[in-house]
Structure 1
C-alpha cells in the first residue's frame, strides 16, 4: 500500500500493545522507538527515489561510507501532538523543511523538497499513529518526537560530496525534555570552547556542531550545571546560544531580546515562534547582539528580569543561574519568570489544539 507517496512495508513483528502501553506511560526522551521508519534514497544519476516506510531496524553501511569519515550529515527535530479529538498534528513543519534545505546546502548534500519532507512525516505517523501519546492532562507534555536525518552513504574515501545519500525519519515517544517538570536550570558559561565560528556550520543543524559542544557540556556537568552557554568565537563576548537551544532575555520595560542570526546561530523554529507570540502579547521583540557584560549588568541592575531558553525538545525553559569559573549569577528566581511561563503556555496550547491557530502553524498528520 502507499501513503503520501511512500510505499508501506508493515513490520512483521510490531511491538505488543501492552508493551507499547507501558512504554508510553513513561517514555523518557529518546529511549524508545516506534515500529517503522521512513526512507528515501538519492543518487547523483537518479535523484530522489524509492520512498518507503519500512520496519525500524539497524542500517547497513559500508565501512567506507562518507558519513563515517567526513561527517556529511544533517538532521531535524519535529514533534507530533495528539489533540483532544484523537487527531495528530505537527507544528510549522515547513520551517523545518526550509532549515533542512539550508543545512543541506551548507553540508553539500542534495536538497529535499517540502512536499517530500512533510510527506515522510505523514507516512510514518500514519503507520505508527498508536505510538503518539495521549496526554493525561494539560500539565503532561507527552508527544511523538520525529527525527528526520540525511547521511552521505557512498563507499568512497576521497574528500568530495557524496554521490549517494539516504534520508530517514525515525520516531520516539517523548515526555518532557527535562525531568521533574519545568524549573529553572543552571547554565555553565564556556570559556574554553566555542560552538561555531563565522563562515562555519553554526546555522546548520548538523551533528558536528553538537559533537563540538559535548566537551563543554561535560565541563558544565562537572560544575553541577544542566546546560552550557557559548560566546562568539571572534571577540569572545557576544552571547550566542546554548548547546541545543536559543536564548531570550526579558527586560523590565517590555523588551524581549534574542541574539541576532549571524550565521553562527541556529535559526530555531521555536525561537521564531516566540518572537511572533511576544509581539502578539504586546512585548517588544528585538533581534540583536547582546554581550555577556550586558547580561551580567542587566541582572545586577534589575533591567533584565528573566532569562529563558527555547527549542523544539525543551519548549521554553527558564534559566535559573549563570555559572562561570569566577561568578554565579541568579537570572530567574523562583519557579521561573512570568513572561516565559506565559509564552510557554501559549505555545503549548497552540501545539495541542487548545487555542485558536491564528497563524496557520499547525499541519495535520493523522
Structure 2
C-alpha cells in the first residue's frame, strides 16, 4: 500500500467471528473485530491505529454528549466471486463526511487518513465480509467532539473512528409510509444536508408516532408549508409518475445528498428514463395515487439500497401501490447496482475500490 501514513495495528486475541451466525444477521447488531481510530488535537490528526473493537471511555462533561457535535457516514464493502473485496463509492462518502464536518464546526478528515484507515481496517477484517447475495459489510465512519468542557463552543479535540458490521437486508419487505404534515425534519439554513447525529435524534419521535399507527416510515415534507415531499425516513425518496422519475433536489440544504440517490439518477439517465429533480407537491402525489399514474415509489440509501414502498398514507387516506415485477424500473436499477457492487459487470463510473 503506497502511503506515508503510519498506522499501528493491534489485532484482537479473541476474535468473535467463529461464534457469529452469518445466516442470521440483524442489521447493525453484529460488530466486526476491529476499528480504526484517529485523534485530532493541537490542530492536526494523529495517533492512527487499528485496535480491537471495544467500548469507549468518556468523561461525563464530554462535549458531544451535551452539544451533539458529531457527524457520520455509511457505506458498504462486498466480495466478488473471486473473493476480492470491493468498496462502493468510498470517495463520495469521504467528501460528504467533510461537507457535514464543515457545517458542524468539526475539522475535516483528510482523504489520505480516511482512505488508508478504511482500507487497512477492511483488510484486517476482510473475513467478516459475507460472501452471499444480498449481504455485505456495512461501514460506519464517524467523528465526534472529545473536549471535556461545558462551555458552548466548538471542541478543540476530536476522535475519528471507523468500525464495520456484516449485514443482510435492511428491509425484509416493501414498506408503508405516512406523509408527515406536522413535524419537521429540516429547514432551510439548518443542518438538513449534513449527516449530523442530531438530525436523526429529532426524527425519532414523529417516526415512533407513525410506527404506532402501523407505518414503517415517514414521508417528510418541507418545514415551511408541509406541501412538498422531501425525504423518506432515513432515505431519499423517488416516484415514477407515468414515465417520469421525480425526486427532490438537494439544492435547498434540507435534503441529504444521497450517494445511492446519485447512483440511481446516473443509471436512470443512462437507461433513457426521464428524470426531474424537483419537489413533488403533496396534492400532486395524492392525485397520482387516485388516478393510478403513480407507478412506483421507493427509497434509496446505503442501508436499504432500494426500499420499495407498498402503501402511502396521505390526508387521512391509505393508498396501495401496484405490485411491481422484475421489469419495474426500481428492480432494474437495483440489479444494475448489485451487478456493479458485486463485481459482476464492468464499473464504468469509477465507483469501486478493489482491495
Common topology (TM > 0.5):
yes
Deviations 1:57-85 (A, max 9, x none): 01011111100000000000010101110
Q: Give the equivalent residue in structure 1 for 2:104.
A: 107
Q: Give the equivalent residue in structure 2 for 1:80.
A: 77
List aligned pairs for 1:145-156, cutoff 5 A: 145-156=138-149
Distance apart, 1:225 and its partner CA: 1.0
Distance apart, 1:332 and its partner CA: 3.9
Q: Give the equivalent residue in structure 1 for 2:199.
A: 209
Question: Hey, what's the Cα distance between the residues in 2 that align with 1:29 and 1:337?
Answer: 28
Distance apart, 1:11 and its partner CA: 1.1
Question: Hey, what's the Cα distance between the residues in 2 that align with 1:275 and 1:334?
Answer: 20
Question: Hey, what's the Cα distance between the residues in 1 that align with 2:321 and 2:254?
Answer: 24
**Number of residue equivalences:** 353
TM-score w.r.t. structure 1 length? 0.93
Question: Hey, what's the Cα distance between the residues in 1 that align with 2:273 and 2:287?
Answer: 22
1:188–1:223 contact (8 Å) kept in structure 2: no
2:174–2:309 contact (8 Å) kept in structure 1: yes
2:222–2:228 contact (8 Å) kept in structure 1: yes
Q: Give the equivalent residue in structure 2 for 1:32.
A: 30
Q: Give the equivalent residue in structure 1 for 2:120.
A: 123
Q: Give the equivalent residue in structure 2 for 1:65.
A: 62
Deviations 1:153-178 (A, max 9, x none): 10110000000000001111100101
Residue 142 of structure 1: which of 126, 135, 139 is its match? Answer: 135
Q: Which segments of structure 1 move beyond 6 Å, counting only runs of 4 or more? A: none
1:165 and 2:155 matched: no
Question: Hey, what's the Cα distance between the residues in 2 that align with 1:201 and 1:144?
Answer: 28
Change (3 A) 1:40 1:332: farther
Distance apart, 1:334 and its partner CA: 4.8
Secondary structure at 2:296 match in 1 = strand
Secondary structure at 2:45 match in 1 = strand
1:230–1:243 contact (8 Å) kept in structure 2: yes
Unmatched segments (≥5 aa) in structure 1? none
1:6 and 2:17 matched: no
Residue 267 of structure 1: which of 238, 248, 257 is its match? Answer: 257
Residue 46 of structure 2: which of 39, 49, 54 is its match? Answer: 49
Distance apart, 1:46 and its partner CA: 4.2
TM-score w.r.t. structure 2 length? 0.95
Unmatched segments (≥5 aa) in structure 2? none
Change (3 A) 1:260 1:337: farther
Question: Hey, what's the Cα distance between the residues in 2 that align with 1:318 and 1:345?
Answer: 14
Q: Give the equivalent residue in structure 1 for 2:332.
A: 342
Question: Hey, what's the Cα distance between the residues in 2 that align with 1:237 and 1:338?
Answer: 28
Secondary structure at 2:190 match in 1 = coil
1:318–1:336 contact (8 Å) kept in structure 2: no
Q: Give the equivalent residue in structure 2 for 1:89.
A: 86
Change (3 A) 1:224 1:337: farther
1:19 and 2:12 matched: no
Secondary structure at 1:322 match in 2 = strand
Secondary structure at 2:219 match in 1 = strand
Question: Hey, what's the Cα distance between the residues in 2 that align with 1:142 and 1:184?
Answer: 18
Deviations 1:273-307 (A, max 9, x none): 00000011110122111111111112222332111
Question: Hey, what's the Cα distance between the residues in 2 that align with 1:188 and 1:310?
Answer: 17
Residue 319 of structure 2: which of 325, 329, 336 is its match? Answer: 329
1:287 and 2:277 matched: yes
List aligned pairs for 1:241-280, cutoff 5 A: 241-253=231-243, 255-261=244-250, 262-280=252-270
1:300 and 2:301 matched: no
Question: Hey, what's the Cα distance between the residues in 2 that align with 1:152 and 1:332?
Answer: 47
